[in-house]
Structure 1
Amino acid sequence: MNRIDTRAAIVDAAASLLRESGPAAVTTRGVAERAGVQAPTIYRLFGDKDGLLEAVAEHVMAAFVAAKAGEVEAATAADVDPLDDLRASWLRQIEFGLTNPAVFRLLSDPERVAGSPAAGRGRQILAARVHRLAAAGRLRVPEPHAVALIQAAGVGAIQTLLATPREQRDPTLGETLMDAVLARILTDTPTGVPDGPVATAVALRALAPDLDALSDSERRLLIEWLDRITAAG
């Protein structure tokens, strides 16, 4: 095997062990045996066990994020209601965290998240879903604030559920938290007509970068005004 194939085989082997038995099972010897390589190869490619675990977490998360990106494109092309799309994505995120607790815990470390391309791409995809809501006139808060609220609530829900014995978990916790966040960020009118000046500003802010009738400087000025309105609201 070449270097790329060897690295992929090691990551796949470690990912299987991590999924089956958790981080403690990801030993150099165990991974080497499953991947069919010598232990020194792992040290040469990943440095140590922590380096290997980070690579595995990134690999699993990247695959999940790639699927989410495809979902956004499909939902946009099919004109799926942006709120329905966001709800479905939220539930899939909760399920991913509960199904991959070791990966979730690794990527819940703020330092790891800051340097994770997959986590950054995941945030971009969430921002795209929120942007669709804003463009539809459904958002009453600035898009970055909505993204932060959704992300914080999602991480909190997964952490709480993972910390609770499986038989004692509240199966409605995720949806209940989602409803609470939506009540905070959405307008009261489901018609797509912005409800009040702030919601109107948020909707126009979502569309402002595409207003070709304005010059670049005019668009920048308009965005500055709209950001000021939404921040004051």
Structure 2
Amino acid sequence: MQQPVLYRFFADKDGLLAATVDHVWDQYLETKRAAAASEDPLQDLRAGWDSHTAFALAHPNAYKLMFSPALRAKPEAAEEAMRILRGVLERLAAQGRLRVTPEVAARMVMSANTGVALALLTHPAQYPDASLSPLVRDAIHRAILLDPTADTSAGDARQAAATTLIASLDLLTPEPFNSAEAGLLKHWLTQIAEPDRPR
């Protein structure tokens, strides 16, 4: 394909790069979309992390392009990836197993997973062992999840209860609150679930 033809489809280099990245993201998301949810959302969370790292190692150049700082626009598929991840975390929250909100947990998981994958790809001499990925995965999971077998502090219990209620609000039928009341309740619960969040 010659350059003039390319410019009929893409306004500039940024447009071409964005389309390429969306295509790569779409390949990545095919596995996420096809994955059937198990009965245990924690198992799904672990599998999601591992498949993310495996995709990065199998497609190093494409993966680095996905997270290139040269991209001016965020790929649309990146939002879908976050929505899929939040869905798994919302299931954990509904079970009372999440110590932070699904939104915060999703940012923590995605940034850590991406960081590990990029470290393995861009600095192989410094990070020669792929077993780093499950080590970081388990550390992040310990940070966002409550261990049902361990003693839970009062603060952790309050945060988990608030997070569980937030995740359950949209599931209540019939809806006991109007939109303003539900918004206010969610705001209050978020203050409990995220005590360090600026007021």
TM-score range, shorter chain: 0.7 to 0.9
Tell me by how many angstroms 1:207 deviates.
0.4
Structure 2 counterparts to residues 35-46 of structure 1, below 5 A = 38-46=2-10
Distance 1:123 1:112, change over 3 A: farther
1:204 to 152, 161, 165: 165
Partner of 2:80: 121
Aligned-residue sequence identity (percent) comes to: 36
1:215 maps onto 2:177 in alignment? yes
> Between Structure 1 and Structure 2, which shows a larger proportion of helix residues?
1
Change (3 A) 1:210 1:111: farther
Question: What is the one-letter code of the residue matched to 1:214?
Answer: P
Given the alignment of the two structures, is residue 227 of structure 1 paired with residue 190 of structure 2, yes or no?
Answer: yes
TM-score by length of 1: 0.72
Asked if the contact 2:53/2:117 (under 8 Å) is kept, the reply is: yes
1:160-171 alignment runs, 5 A limit: 160-165=119-124, 169-171=128-130
CA contact (8 A) 1:113 1:119 kept: no
Unaligned runs of 5+ in 1: 1-31, 33-37
**CA distance in structure 2 between the aligned counterparts of 1:107 and 1:56, rounded to whole angstroms:** 9
Match of 1:158 among 96, 99, 117: 117
* Deviations 1:50-106 (CA, angstroms, capped at 9, x unpaired): 5433322211212322431332xx21xxx4200000100110001111222222222
One-letter code of the match for 2:189? L
Q: Quick check: 1:62–1:118 contact (8 Å CA) kept in 2?
A: yes
Question: CA offsets, 1:82-136, max 9 Å, x none?
Answer: 0000100110001111222222222213573853111111111111111111111
Secondary structure at 2:81 match in 1: helix
Measure, in 1, the Cα distance between the counterparts of 2:12 and 2:51: 32
Change in CA separation of 1:114 and 1:145 when aligned onto 2, cut-off 3 Å: farther
Q: Which whole-Å CA distance do the structure 2 matches of 1:89 and 1:164 have between them? A: 23
On the 8 A contact 1:149/1:181 being kept in 2, the answer is: yes
CA displacement 1:7-41 (0-9 Å, x = unmatched): xxxxxxxxxxxxxxxxxxxxxxxxx3xxxxx4532
Distance 1:218 1:63 in 2: 41
Superposed structure 1 runs of 4+ greater than 6 Å apart = none
TM-score normalised by structure 2 residue count: 0.83
